[in-house]
A and B are shown apart, each in its own frame.
Chain A
Amino acid sequence: MTPQEMTLFGKLSLYLSYPFVQYAIIVGVLIALCSSLLGVTLVLKRFSFIGDGLSHVAFGGLAIASVVNLTNEMWLVLPITVLSAVLLLRTGQNTRIKGDAAIAMISVGALAFGYLIMNLFSTSTNLSGDVCSTLFGSTSILTLTQQEVILSAILSVLVILLFIFLYHKIFDVTFDENFAKASGTRVELYNTVIAIVIAVIIVLAMNLVGSLLISALVIFPALSAMRLFRSFKAVTIFSAVFSVVCALLGMLISIIYGTPVGSTIVAVDTVAFLICYAIEFFKGGVSS
């Protein structure tokens, strides 16, 4: 080992001995796992824009929560985002209102009002720092309180269990909604549950990467897996592994080099996606 590696290793083991870093890593891994699970559904059901819209709504919620000085912001942000998810899904299905336009309006509106509220009422001395960290996550993952850690862990485990039990329904509803409906599957029920789960995932992921980068966390694992695998099961499993590995790597890099957590994780995701893309290209080139 070179001295440089020694210090890296020493630095890492020192950091990892702090409980708040351990919490951050546990929560980060759980959140990364959750956010990868519904990626395929989001991409293929053209729900990605709902995910984007919701992350802006969550930002607005967070702005309100921080202004009224809630001790745990999630109690406000979670219900607001879940409610918006259900509403957005409804408008998306209604052909009379242009679903996309409604979502764009809501999400941009929430963003604007969020910033406005923070600007007008915030007592913080570092407003742009606050806004920046809500948008990009920054160091917030390392400053989680124990209560937030427990809540995140419980929500993550719930999301994972729900996904396992709904796995086949999600496949059915995503692959061919009309067939599912015609053969008696309760499509509306499952769509609503999926929308709620997406909302929960987004609120969770805000802690890790901030609201602007959430889509990356949700979509990169699915897109990467779809480059390499051809069955829903394989794609789902690979997405989960991909997401967890990238999040771990990103968090370690950010701890060692002091880079912002959220953008480091997303950068690692992006590089890993490019690698998957290259592998597919190479394999395709060889086999054809």
Chain B
Amino acid sequence: MAQVQVRDVSLGYDNNLLVEHLDFSVNAGDYLCIVGENGTGKSTLMRTLLGLQKPLAGSIEFGDGLKSTEIGYLPQQTDVQRDFPASVREIVLSGCQGRMGLRPFYTKEEKALAETNMERMGISEFAKRCYRELSGGQQQRVLLARALCATRKILLLDEPVAGLDPKVTAELYKQIAELNEEGITIIMISHDIDAAVSYASHILHVADKVFFGTREEYKDSALGRRFLKGGEDE
């Protein structure tokens, strides 16, 4: 069974229907890129996968031993985070909260896990620094390290490279690809169709006509050809 199975899902708000009849599945180890124009409902889809809101219709199932609370999430940046006084270590540690239930304090293992994930993302040297004083790329790596504390199986990333310069973007893509090679499933929203096609194993293109398939199928499809060409023109 697939890790995530989406069946005939419709998304939207009140009287505003965004997407209908979404069908796709994600298997362990897949790297799915969700692409599409602004406002087509990509973030809404991700929030629905996370259980933060309900689909208008259809069903989402988790399988392959994945619990809905074992998901690592990297959100689009919110206002609250920007002026929040928090050190990098405090934020990364908070990724362990989900598994803690009502237990009030962190265990030694959880603290060690946070240290490991900070090393993995190359941010150990910032552990005591204030989050809001870091650069955009460093902040994203902090949030990735936090997401890794929450999961060993699957990461959902909402536009992780938005606002980063090309060099930092390339580094972040490389780190995400490495995590995928270690066996972590990746579902990533991206504006950058070229990067999506070079890293992802599968593509979900949200538009009037939804496309889902492997990246090879996408390159051959009419939709894919149009958008890949459009990307080159720019």
Contact = CB atoms under 8 A, between A and B. Distances in A.
A232 B98 contact: no
A231 B86 contact: yes
B59 interface: no
Contact of B52 (A45, A168, A178): A178
Interface residues on A, range: 20 to 34
Contacts of A225: 85
Contacts of A231: 85-87, 90, 128, 130
Contacts of A234: 85
B198 interface: no
Contacts of A280: none
A167 interface: yes
Nearest to B97: A172
A176 B84 CA distance: 10
A44 B104 contact: no
B38 to A, nearest CB: 20
Looking at chain B's contact residues, the main secondary structure is: mixed
Given A168-B106, A183-B150, A185-B97, A178 B90 contact: no
Interface stretch (B17-25, B73-81, B170-178, B224-232): B73-81
Contact of B133 (A171, A183, A184, A230): A230
Nearest to B99: A184
A78 B38 CA distance: 48
Contacts of B72: 183
A277 to B, nearest CB: 15
A207 B200 CA distance: 61
Contacts of B98: 180, 183-185
Contacts, number: 103
A231 B150 CA distance: 21
B95 interface: yes
Interface in A134-177: 164-169, 171-172, 174-177
A168 B94 contact: yes
Nearest to B46: A182
Interface of B: 47, 50-52, 67-73, 75, 78, 80-81, 83-87, 90-91, 93-95, 97-100, 104-106, 128-130, 132-133, 146-147, 150-151, 156
A180 B75 CA distance: 11
A184 B81 CA distance: 19
Minimum-distance CB pairs A-B, first 4: A184-B69, A183-B98, A230-B130, A184-B98
Contact of B94 (A165, A166, A175): A175
A234 B130 CA distance: 11
A163 B209 CA distance: 51
A178 B73 contact: yes
A62 interface: no
A165 B104 CA distance: 5
A49 interface: no
Contacts of B147: 179
A185 B98 CA distance: 5
B106 A175 contact: no
A233 B75 CA distance: 24
Contact of B87 (A180, A184, A226, A230): A230
